[in-house]
Structure 1
Amino acid sequence: MSINFEEVRLRLPHIELAAHLYGPEDGRPVIALHGWLDNAASFARLAPKLSGLRIVALDFAGHGHSDHRPAGGSYAIWDYVHDVLQVAEQFGWQRFSLLGHSMGAIVSVLLAGAMPERVERLALIDGLMPYTGEADTAPGKLGEALRAQLTLAGKRKPVYAEFERAVKARMQGVGAVTYEAAELLAQRGLMPVPGGYTWRTDSRLTLPSPLRLTQAHAMAFVQALRCPSKLVLAEQGMLQAQPQLSELLSGLPLEVVRLAGGHHLHLDDEFGAQLVADCFKAFLQAS
């Protein structure tokens, strides 16, 4: 597929991130945030359908072509929030909208809840709140994370002799995707190494979280939203698997639209991308 975008690198005060720019420079500002272990190519089908918007589709730190965190650093969800805010600062955007998928949706909610004066609109795709943990599970979760950190140095990334093998592996990864979607993600996410190809992603991204927000913490961020917010819920997606989903969504300050498709419905095929675009185009362009 032919995609028109500009590849840029953003030198932030603490890290350098890569991004794809879509749309006119004077379009309404939108920062697009992908899911865990994905990259900016997550929006390759959707972004071109959202005309009139200036979309900055980021590679999160440790993903795609962005820098990895320094040695000894970690990938706490709130650190991504800081990164996104710094990206907005670099573009001089005091007000902007967020388009987030999965983990990118979670980061979007945290930023919009924490700094409502900066976020104009919130467009979420099959993601809302982080996995939570209560106080009594915290010691065990920290111990699990510490043990995983000790063994990380001895682990090696998989090497695929052929590009197609990596694509097929990604099809079965977190949030299973179509071959075409996996190919788009792999084109940006792979790098050549002796013996074939491996993923660019930082191995530390696979470590378990040492600390999780409680359910009360997570709900507080959603309830703190002050901007118009819209959630596309994939009928065969990952959110549907959460227990008591309807109860969770009831009373929250966001509009929910249910669409047929899997967790990556905005990327799996052109039809799904168009459905999501139809939900968000006028919404993100509104004053």
Structure 2
Amino acid sequence: MSARVEEVRLNLPHIELAARLYGPEDGHSVIALHGWLDNAASFARLAPRLPGLRIVALDFAGHGHSAHRPPGAGYAPWDNVQDVLQVADQLGWTRFSLLGHSMGAIVATLLAAALPERVERLALIDGLVPPTGEADGAVERLGDALKAQQALADKRKPVYEHVEQAVSARMRGTDTVSREAAELLAERGLMPVAGGYTWRSDARLTLPSPMRLTRAHSHAFIHGLRCPTRLVVAEQGIIARHESLMTALPSMPLEVHRLPGGHHLHLDDDAGADAVAACFRAFLRGEA
């Protein structure tokens, strides 16, 4: 399924972000947020299956065609929350819905809970809250993060002689994806360098988090949601492997749909994209 796609750049006060636009200008306003080390192509299959929506699929800072954050800056989830809010302001969207996958779903949840007056509806794909950590591990975590930051200058991103090698590497990533999904992500995520191709993404994105929210923090954001919320749980995805979160889902203020497929079910194949679209099509138009 194909659809007209427009490429845009958004000049925020502190950074320039890239995005893909789908759908009619008068459609329901939706900002789509991809996962960690992915890019706006994450929604290449799903967006055309969601008619009646004006979808702005962002490249997060440090991903895809967006700028990297300046030296000394980091990539905490709340930094992305602020970026999304400024994108909405630049677009003139006082109220809008959020469609998020994985890390993008986490960012969407944080924003929707923190500023409920801005977010109309929340559509989440196999993501909800960031990984948590408790106080007894905080000291060691910060130390490990500081050491990793100091060692970053000596690391080099992989260079692939051929695009196909990069596609194969992406297929074998932390969460495996189909070949077609890897090709879509690589098309937007690679850049030519001496000797072949490497990923555009900022190397700092792979650094460990210096601090994590506690489980109590995360649950506070979930229970702070005031907008209608639907969560797609992939049966072979990340949330399904998180036993304590799966146990807690029935008590949370959201509607859960379990679908077959892996973490990238909305991008892996047409069947997965169709199934996710069926969950969100009427919902994001405010019809369900």
Shorter-chain TM-score tier: over 0.9
In 2, the alpha carbon distance for the partners of 1:165 and 1:101 equals 25
- Correspondence for 1:75: 75
Structure 1 unmatched runs, 5+: none
In 1, the alpha carbon distance for the partners of 2:271 and 2:169 equals 24
- Correspondence for 1:101: 101
In 1, the alpha carbon distance for the partners of 2:168 and 2:151 equals 27
- Correspondence for 1:10: 10
Amino acid at match of 1:196: G
Check conservation: 2:22, 2:55, Cα contact below 8 A.
yes
Deviating beyond 4 angstroms after TM superposition, the runs of 4 or more aligned structure 1 residues are: none
Cα shift at 1:3: 4.5
Cα shift at 1:174: 2.3
Helix, strand or coil at the partner of 1:278? helix
Cα shift at 1:250: 2.0
TM-score by length of 2: 0.98
Structure 2 unmatched runs, 5+: none
Check conservation: 2:3, 2:22, Cα contact below 8 A.
no
Matches within 5 A, 1:135-214: 135-214=135-214
In 1, the alpha carbon distance for the partners of 2:274 and 2:66 equals 28
Check conservation: 1:22, 1:54, Cα contact below 8 A.
yes
Cα shift at 1:4: 2.0
In 2, the alpha carbon distance for the partners of 1:246 and 1:78 equals 24
- Correspondence for 1:263: 263
- Correspondence for 1:54: 54
String of CA shifts for 1:101-132, please: whole Å, max 9, x gaps.
Answer: 00000000000000000000000000001000
Cα shift at 1:245: 3.1
Check conservation: 2:2, 2:48, Cα contact below 8 A.
no
Check conservation: 2:18, 2:66, Cα contact below 8 A.
yes
In 2, the alpha carbon distance for the partners of 1:276 and 1:124 equals 10
String of CA shifts for 1:5-55, please: whole Å, max 9, x gaps.
Answer: 100000001100000000000000000000000000000000000000000
In 2, the alpha carbon distance for the partners of 1:38 and 1:70 equals 20
Helix, strand or coil at the partner of 1:250? helix
Check conservation: 2:145, 2:208, Cα contact below 8 A.
yes
String of CA shifts for 1:246-277, please: whole Å, max 9, x gaps.
Answer: 32212100000000000000000011101000
In 1, the alpha carbon distance for the partners of 2:274 and 2:250 equals 27
In 2, the alpha carbon distance for the partners of 1:156 and 1:221 equals 37
String of CA shifts for 1:63-113, please: whole Å, max 9, x gaps.
Answer: 000000001111011000000000000000010000000000000000000
Amino acid at match of 2:106: I
Does residue 40 of structure 1 match 2:40?
yes
Check conservation: 1:3, 1:44, Cα contact below 8 A.
no
In 2, the alpha carbon distance for the partners of 1:245 and 1:2 equals 36
Helix, strand or coil at the partner of 1:14? coil
Alignment RMSD: 0.9
Matches within 5 A, 1:105-144: 105-144=105-144
- Correspondence for 1:231: 231
Cα shift at 1:2: 4.4
Amino acid at match of 2:13: P
Helix, strand or coil at the partner of 2:154? coil
Cα shift at 1:135: 1.0
Matches within 5 A, 1:12-31: 12-31=12-31
- Correspondence for 1:90: 90
Amino acid at match of 1:250: P
TM-score by length of 1: 0.99
- Correspondence for 2:222: 222
Check conservation: 2:239, 2:246, Cα contact below 8 A.
no
In 2, the alpha carbon distance for the partners of 1:175 and 1:89 equals 33
Amino acid at match of 1:153: A
Check conservation: 2:113, 2:224, Cα contact below 8 A.
yes
Check conservation: 1:64, 1:201, Cα contact below 8 A.
yes
String of CA shifts for 1:180-235, please: whole Å, max 9, x gaps.
Answer: 00000000000000110000000000000001001000100000000000000000
In 1, the alpha carbon distance for the partners of 2:123 and 2:3 equals 22
Amino acid at match of 1:187: E
Does residue 66 of structure 1 match 2:66?
yes
Equivalent residue pairs, number:
287
